[in-house]
Chain A
């Protein structure tokens, strides 16, 4: 019989040791409750990862270019370690990967993929097209998932295919599910911004309009998210390549 425990609130903890989602509703007062096993787990284990990340990755695809925005805070429990972090990695001239997830896994996985893609280019004299690179990434992630060393990373991969000049944006999560999307935002920030994008997005925006759309998203995060994500790094990927755009500094006021 589950007992009501006072310190339990957040509903989506994933215990990496027991490998279960550990949240139940208490039968008597229907407050979310962690089973006893997970409480013990949390007392003994060193890490305890939440599915939802406090970091935010945003990607939006338009007809001629793709915009990617990532927040710039590197967090360690309650402390901001670094406020100019770069969560995006250029995989090739026309492909960018934004990563979030478990610290360490993110860099390790991102660099592994990036170097493999470069190796392909060196061996064969031409680059992998974005769709093939995404497939390769997903395959790697899926292989590791069913092994003793899974990577806990969520990715957005956005780019332009140099042969067809079509823009592409792919969502990929830690379970190696990958789908092409028009826009997506990972993390708690995504919960606030997806609806903004649902309302405002059209595929034929120009660069200025697209940047304004991103500013609206960031303003929403600033207004409604409890964690402070003050700055967002923005990059634009077009068939000319990858370009930095000015950082978006959140201007929203609290509700």
Chain B
């Protein structure tokens, strides 16, 4: 019965749903995980890299994280070709704003503009929606560090930490437990990102080749967007594993220690 309302994007089903939009979000649920964490002094974006073929030429440093403007970068999950079109549009929107107003576009305005475009594809034109969810990290003078997420329906929201793509629900629940609001600095955020990725990615051990990490910080009145190199990622993974081992050891001690006391 619902099938009859599937083929066109621009009509509601009897239950009041837009099926094409929901199917687009389904498509994103199968894509590589991306997560973003807001720290006190910066923002972290982590992404799972799916194309790890040895034969791939590494022309771009990152195939999921894009720089949009001097103060903004984004990470995409979903159909890569759709993502290319959208990031192109994001860059054009940012420059058009600077052309008109002489200042960098504030983060929320950029997200809002793109989401208006995404929404248009759910209402008219007869074209399918974009199968891309985007995580934006940026800095502006008005609200400082910001993290936003947008999805194919054209909705967007600001987050302190969030995840999109494969196993995103699991990752978000881990973040809810582990993320400490306004107590996390950039380094802790990086380690937290690795922790969440290791728990949600379907592999036993974290591999630097399969991860992309990027940070955004403000130094000396300039924004620095840095895609972390493979060597540094390896260092971070080592540190993360060390911490995990220490935490494990501490837990063992506690258990054995409490066992001893109960003996008495």
Residues of B109-158 at the interface with A, using a CB-CB cut-off of 8 Å, are: 109, 141-142
Q: Is the interface of A mostly helix, strand, loop or mixed?
A: helix
Task: Bits for A150-173, please: 1 = Cβ < 8 Å to B, else 0.
Answer: 000000000000010000000000
* A-side interface size class: 10 to 19
- CB < 8 Å: which of A124, A131, A134 contacts B106? A124
Q: Distance in Å from the Cβ of B218 to the closest Cβ of chain A?
A: 16
Known: A126-B142, A163-B141. A131 touches B109 (CB 8 A): no
**Pairwise interchain contact A136-B142, C-beta atoms closer than 8 A:** no
Chain B CB within 8 A of A128 CB = yes
Closest Cβ of chain B: how far from A215's Cβ, in Å?
A: 35
From B96-104, B170-178, B195-203, the one touching the partner chain is: B96-104
Report if A129 contacts B (CB, 8 A).
Answer: yes
Q: Which residues of A are in contact with B by a Cβ distance under 8 Å?
A: 124, 126, 128-129, 131-136, 139, 163
Which chain B residue shows the least CB distance to A135? Answer: B102
Q: List 16 A-B contacts (CB under 8 A).
A: A124-B106, A124-B109, A126-B142, A129-B103, A131-B102, A132-B102, A132-B103, A134-B102, A135-B100, A135-B101, A135-B102, A135-B103, A136-B100, A136-B102, A139-B99, A163-B141
User: Which residues from A are CB-within-8-Å of B141?
Assistant: 163
**Total number of residue pairs linking A and B with CB closer than 8 Å:** 23
B98 to chain A: closest residue by CB: A135
Please measure, in the bound complex, the distance between the C-alpha atom of A124 and the C-alpha atom of B140, giving whole angstroms: 14
In Å, the complex CA distance between A132 and B109 comes to 15
Report the minimum CB–CB distance from A209 to chain B (whole Å): 33
Q: Which residue of chain B is the closest to A120 with respect to CB atoms?
A: B101
The residue on A at minimum CB distance from B101 is A132
Question: Contact mask B73-117 → A, CB, 8 Å, 1/0?
Answer: 000000000000000000000000001111100101100000000
Pairs of residues from A and B, 3 with the lowest C-beta to C-beta distance, nearest first: A135-B102, A132-B101, A132-B103
> Is A136 a contact of B106 with CB atoms below 8 Å?
no
Residues of A within 8 A of B101 (CB): 128, 132-133, 135-136
Determine the chain A residues whose CB is within 8 A of the CB of B103 once the complex forms.
Answer: 129, 131-132, 135
In the complex, A135→B100 CA distance in Å? Answer: 7
Q: Which residues of chain A are near B142, meaning CB under 8 Å? A: 126
* Cβ contacts under 8 Å, A128 to chain B: 101
Q: List, in ascending order, chain A residues with CB within 8 A of B100's CB.
A: 135-136, 139
Chain A's closest residue to B108 (CB) is A124
On chain B, the residues within 8 Å of A129 by CB distance are 103
